[in-house]
Structure 1
Amino acid sequence: MMFGMGSRPKEDTPIFPVGIDGRCESAVTDDRLLFVDDTLADWGGRSAPKNEKNRRVSTSMGTEGIIPVWAALVVGLIIVLVRCGQVQIVERVRYAALAEGNRSRIERIPPERGVVYDRDGQVLVQNVPRFTATVIPSDLPTDEAERRLVFGQLAEIVGLTPRDIEESLLKGGGPDSVPISIAEDISHGQAIMVEIMSSRWIGVQLLRGTKREYPLATEIPSMSHIIGFESGVTAEDVESGDFLPTDRIGRTGLERSYETELRGEYGRRRVEVDALGHRKTTIAEEPGTSGQNLILTIDAELQQTAQDALRRKLEELGLSRGSVIVMRPDDGEILALVSWPAYDNNLFADGISDRDYAALSEDSDAPLFSRAISASLPSGSVFKPVMAAAALAEGIVTPRTTFVSVGGFYVGQWFFPDWKAGGHGLTNLAKALSESVNTYFYIIGGGYDGREGLGTERIVRYAKLFGFGATTGIDLPGEGAGFLPTEEWKLETKGEQWFIGDTYHLSIGQGDLLVTPLQVAVMTAAFANGGNLVRPHVVNALVSGDGHRSYLPTEPVARQLVSPENIAAVREGMRDSVLYGSSRGLSLLPVSSAGKTGTAQWSSQHGNHAWFTSFAPYDRPEIVVTVMIEEGGEGSSTAAPVAREILERYFLKKTE
């Protein structure tokens, strides 16, 4: 090899080149390179100038300099050989995995969400196809101009602005390699355009999935509070690692409380991609597990009957708020659960608009609020059966104990009236319940004229025993607990002493006592079933993909709250209410029934709340119906007729 005058090897030429596959190629050395000097003309057969200075340099390099240079070269060669061995042997697996990753990627496969049926197999919630336009941040162009081009094209297809896409990316959360939802539920035509665009830009991706559809939402909107709805995940959800940015999860109702069971488990798919990241073929696929289907206790037909009966009465009264619970007393199965007003949960399935959401959330009647399980209200006289059972259990009265009702009595300067002017005359337990005699319950609650009453502590204890002051445990989110006032609470909260008047008011379901309609239904069920406290529920069974059914437990929460004799005495009073008292409208039913009315005062500026709770048939109860109409006035004239219509339809259907 010859070099011309003044030429040198390229500075970036390695002495020990390594191949692209990691193997060492042969090392090339040349002794002559050690003696290159800028004073040399060339080595083409001519000698270098012979002068003493050059001779000294040459001699020095030839003896003392060659050894250390050769030593350095040998050490370098050893290092390179060791590294080559490490690359080829020790790290072979790691580099192979990296190489595999360069041509394949793992995708998570969203599972099919579970379907929901009523007790007779009618579909309440189903899945329909859904297309979502997404972008993968890590695959977007890094060039700003190209990035703007991608955003502009995608925005035009899905009807957004580039700024909208940028904001979606900022809010996305999660790793940059995970798709971020840009536009959900796009049309089939838009989906085709996004698919075409994704063939050019790997950062754009079309996801095919499903969305929820609620087929009865228009006909039976009251079902919305039971079923609930889904919405998109938040950044916090994604950061938890359990969700993809394109996922939707249950936010209310059963969609929320049974989210884990309905969602199922993700599958995994390894796909081969080309140099641009485009999918070529599926290498391997591990299917996920579909969500479980739900079989509800709800009877869709009875739900509509209860909804329509309540709605007609509200329209007749010029009112807009109320609730109905229809329940089996033995096991707590909810047959109908109506809160009114309601909403169309398909609005949320499609991605609710700001305008529609504002209309719902700002409505003074709160259609998103599940009144039947969450509203805490004064109970009025529907609390009196608990008072009667407690007084019997504590020996305050017997079923034959009588008091004379003359329309009320004074304690000091304070007058405590009966609702009936002139009073009810001689009153025993059954009559006190059937005619809702206030003075009878004042006496057994707070005592009077030397006669002992239960007192606040025992009233609260028995109220808790029958399920008040705590959630019932229904399998729906957002349940209210109501409130049981105590002497300590009043002193700590209001800075006031507890007076006898407070005990009297509590004894007739007034004052600071608050209950939910569901709690009243559970209390009524305890008298219907002989004294057991049940846990209400709306899901009967979970059904897996292979058809296996898992039934939810229905054992009572507590058994025999009070003696069977005391339960029977209270039941008799509730039966007399239908035969002779404030619930006589139910006496025309084809089956025997029992009930209790309630009229709850709560504001001097607003009407009283109307209550009615009942069970039937009287001898072998199979259904409890509880109705509450906010500001409905007298329970006997507004709430009881709604219950009667529901009971009529229920028993008529059984004969068809």
Structure 2
Amino acid sequence: MKASSNPFIIRESIAKVKGFSRLRQVGSDFWLGAASQEKITLTLTREKFRIIFFTIIFFFTLIMARAFYLQVVKGQNYNQIAEGNRIRLLSIKAERGIIYDRYHTPLVANLPNVSLYFIPPDLPSDDQTKKDLTQVIAAIIDKNSDELWQEFIHAPATSYQPILIADNLSHEQSIRLKTIEDNLAGVYTATEPRRDYLEGSGLAHILGYVGKISSSELAQDAAQNYDINDTLGKDGVELFYESMLKGKNGTQEIEVDALGKTKKILNRIESQIGASLVLTIDAELQKKLSQSLANAIKNSPASQAGVAIALDPQSGEILSLVSLPGFDNNFFSAGITEDAYQNYLTDQRKPLFNRTVAGTYPPGSIFKPLVALAALEQGIINEHKTFLSTGGLQIGDWFFPDWKYGGHGRVNVISAIANSVNTFFYYIGGGYHDFIGLGVQKITDFARQFYLSKTLGIDLPGEAAGFLPSKDWKEKTKQESWYIGDTYHLAIGQGDILVTPLQVASYTAFFANGGTLYQPHLLKEIINADGLKNEHNSINNQEYVLAKNLASDENIDIIRRALRATVTSGSAQSLQSLPVAVAGKTGTAQVGADKESHAWFTGFAPYDSPRIVITILLENGGEGSAVAVPVFKEVVEWYFNEK
């Protein structure tokens, strides 16, 4: 049989396979792998090889570059994002330092306060769940759910900075929230210190208050010592000594789950309490002065406000500082409502206004001792120089009256101060006929040495400087000439002159101690966080001496005797019954034809070795001798019986 006719034999032939450079035998050996199989190779030109090679290199380089970018360049960022998804850094609020009175009686406290916060990225991602969350929270904290929703959706979605929802939560609200807190995604409670001003101290204008930091205050914090949820001093000592009272916040690093709930505390740095302050204030005296002044205001039909200041004339230490009406500073530390705040702002009595340091008033006759001292120092009078008071002085068409019809007769400097004789001060202030008085320039120059028209530098915000008029000022401001009548008015503390009650107390202390002008101050001692004490001042500390040698001892003694005569034979004789000898000056300052005069009294006790100066002012109270003197009397009697 021939091979070609056998159906089981595949015919052998030569075939050319496309793409290969060698021939291959086609047939049974092709399929069955005969040993005679020839080598087959790929036809690859140099050009094709180059294209394939560079293509591979290009894609390999691209892949490596992308890997480098993701792992190295963006790696830290992705790591931070990943960490941010599970790590939180929370602030531990520091307690503020305690404020004490001079006898170490606490005036403030730090109470535990439960606050509610949310962290935007931890909130539910879908709107419906987020809305359900707002409904639950709003119902517990008595907040409008729409307002809370707006806070949620407008919060920076990628910020892990906690945002305050509400603070000062009640015990019931706190319990309800803590019970379900584990199921509230992105929301947590924190117990933090809240400032409490102890009831009954009546020290709102001294202590001030704290409140939440504002965006403008936060922007001004160049040192970045605060965060958006911090509180800080807003007024009073709390503001003035903010840097001392403020503690240092701590931090807590925690790991959280998908709901933002704490799984593990990774690290904790405790907060540090601020320094505590001991003030010069006598809390019991403060209460007594407040009560006495409040009663006097209540019994004066036209008066709605008043001031009482007590200080130590031997050091300038403030013992009491009362401004009525006052306010409850706990309203502010607990988070005052907008309505309550507006009520304070619109109250015509201005309860937020600290009249002791920021109020400016015409002094009336309590300015006369300074004018008399200026005249003695200038040598235009001596203790024995007298003028005749017949009821006033006539200058052309103008009559300048004495307060007493018919006058006081012939008076010298002592009887003129004791009985507040206007005519005497018209003479020495502006002159009359051939007698040449001080004139406006000498009066104001002398008064300025006692820090009138300047601030004394008390450690409280908002101190006013007062005002001393001048010829130039009147011509520029009122487009009017300065007349002798203007000088007469200035000499008796009327016209355009304005002083603060603190300035009056300050120069009264100058006469009391025999010639040293001290800077009034409130800080007595600093107690650091570690309990170490720092005596901030003492009686012998010269740091607070503003001026000495402003007048001779002889002339100061003349004014002191005149102030004593005010009590023994003048306008404050009701004070003779006190258990200690006192001295002082009454004042009735006119403020307009349609208003009652301001009632003043300023004095000191005991006369021979003064321990206390007290200055009283009742706005629109009327006669100083009738209204202000009784307050002084009541408080001095209590003070020397109690102390």
Q: Measure the CA separation in 2 of the matches of 1:445 and 1:263.
A: 51
Aligned to 2:567: 578
CA change 1:172–1:518 in 2 (3 A) is: farther
> Does the CA-based 8 Å contact 1:171-1:235 persist in structure 2?
no
Q: Aligned to 1:317, what secondary structure does the other structure show?
A: coil
Q: Aligned to 1:191, what secondary structure does the other structure show?
A: helix
- CA deviation digits over 1:55-96, x for unaligned, max 9? xxx85x665323322233235435655776787789987876
Aligned match for 1:104, one of 81, 84, 87: 87
The gaps in structure 2 that reach 5 residues or longer are 1-18, 20-28, 32-41, 538-542
Aligned match for 2:255, one of 260, 265, 272: 272
366-375 or 228-237, larger mean C-alpha shift: 228-237
> Does the CA-based 8 Å contact 1:169-1:180 persist in structure 2?
no
Aligned match for 2:210, one of 202, 220, 230: 230
Equivalences for 1:339-418 in 2 at 5 Å? 339-418=323-402
Q: Aligned to 2:592, what secondary structure does the other structure show?
A: coil
Aligned to 1:193: 176
> Does the CA-based 8 Å contact 1:173-1:236 persist in structure 2?
no
Q: Measure the CA separation in 1 of the matches of 2:157 and 2:134.
A: 20
> Does the CA-based 8 Å contact 2:186-2:259 persist in structure 1?
no
Q: Measure the CA separation in 2 of the matches of 1:362 and 1:102.
A: 49
Q: Aligned to 2:164, what secondary structure does the other structure show?
A: strand
Aligned match for 1:649, one of 616, 621, 638: 638
CA change 1:63–1:595 in 2 (3 A) is: same
Q: Measure the CA separation in 1 of the matches of 2:49 and 2:140.
A: 72
Q: How many residues were matched structurally? A: 597
Q: Measure the CA separation in 2 of the matches of 1:317 and 1:361.
A: 24
Please say which structure displays the higher CA radius of gyration.
Answer: 2
Q: Measure the CA separation in 1 of the matches of 2:390 and 2:94.
A: 69
CA RMSD of aligned residues (A): 2.7
- CA deviation digits over 1:381-437, x for unaligned, max 9? 000111011111111211221112121111111111111122112211111111111
Q: Measure the CA separation in 2 of the matches of 1:157 and 1:101.
A: 29
Q: Aligned to 2:615, what secondary structure does the other structure show?
A: strand
Q: Measure the CA separation in 1 of the matches of 2:375 and 2:67.
A: 93
Q: Measure the CA separation in 1 of the matches of 2:490 and 2:234.
A: 37
Aligned to 1:184: 167
> Does the CA-based 8 Å contact 1:475-1:538 persist in structure 2?
yes
CA change 1:177–1:93 in 2 (3 A) is: closer
Q: Measure the CA separation in 2 of the matches of 1:564 and 1:571.
A: 10
The offset of 1:477, in angstroms, is 1.6
Q: Measure the CA separation in 1 of the matches of 2:347 and 2:169.
A: 29
Aligned to 2:622: 633
Q: Measure the CA separation in 2 of the matches of 1:67 and 1:199.
A: 65
Aligned match for 2:271, one of 288, 292, 297: 288
Q: Measure the CA separation in 2 of the matches of 1:484 and 1:478.
A: 19
The offset of 1:377, in angstroms, is 0.9
> Does the CA-based 8 Å contact 1:173-1:245 persist in structure 2?
no
Equivalences for 1:190-589 in 2 at 5 Å? 190-216=173-199, 219-221=200-202, 223-239=203-219, 240=221, 241-318=224-301, 319-553=303-537, 554-589=543-578
The offset of 1:343, in angstroms, is 2.0
The offset of 1:648, in angstroms, is 0.9
Q: Measure the CA separation in 1 of the matches of 2:30 and 2:147.
A: 77
The gaps in structure 1 that reach 5 residues or longer are 1-34, 36-44, 48-57
Q: Measure the CA separation in 2 of the matches of 1:651 and 1:357.
A: 40
Q: Measure the CA separation in 2 of the matches of 1:438 and 1:371.
A: 27
Does the alignment pair 1:119 with 2:99?
no
User: 2:310 is aligned with what amino acid?
Assistant: V
Aligned to 1:42: none
CA change 1:388–1:167 in 2 (3 A) is: farther
Q: Aligned to 2:323, what secondary structure does the other structure show?
A: strand
Q: Measure the CA separation in 1 of the matches of 2:551 and 2:66.
A: 85
Equivalences for 1:150-165 in 2 at 5 Å? 150-165=133-148
CA change 1:478–1:111 in 2 (3 A) is: same
Aligned match for 1:608, one of 597, 600, 606: 597
CA change 1:395–1:174 in 2 (3 A) is: farther
The offset of 1:172, in angstroms, is 7.7
User: 2:108 is aligned with what amino acid?
Assistant: V
Q: Measure the CA separation in 2 of the matches of 1:447 and 1:497.
A: 18
Q: Measure the CA separation in 2 of the matches of 1:194 and 1:227.
A: 34
The offset of 1:444, in angstroms, is 1.0
The offset of 1:301, in angstroms, is 0.9
Aligned to 1:28: none
> Does the CA-based 8 Å contact 2:388-2:410 persist in structure 1?
yes
> Does the CA-based 8 Å contact 1:197-1:204 persist in structure 2?
no
Percent identity between matched residues is 41
Q: Measure the CA separation in 2 of the matches of 1:169 and 1:422.
A: 78
Q: Aligned to 2:366, what secondary structure does the other structure show?
A: helix
> Does the CA-based 8 Å contact 1:262-1:292 persist in structure 2?
yes
- CA deviation digits over 1:160-211, x for unaligned, max 9? 1222214556898999322222222112332233345542344212121121
User: 1:421 is aligned with what amino acid?
Assistant: Y
> Does the CA-based 8 Å contact 2:367-2:493 persist in structure 1?
yes
Q: Measure the CA separation in 1 of the matches of 2:69 and 2:211.
A: 52
Aligned to 2:584: 595
Does the alignment pair 1:66 with 2:49?
yes
CA change 1:174–1:259 in 2 (3 A) is: farther
User: 1:609 is aligned with what amino acid?
Assistant: H
CA change 1:420–1:85 in 2 (3 A) is: closer
User: 1:178 is aligned with what amino acid?
Assistant: Q
User: 1:649 is aligned with what amino acid?
Assistant: W
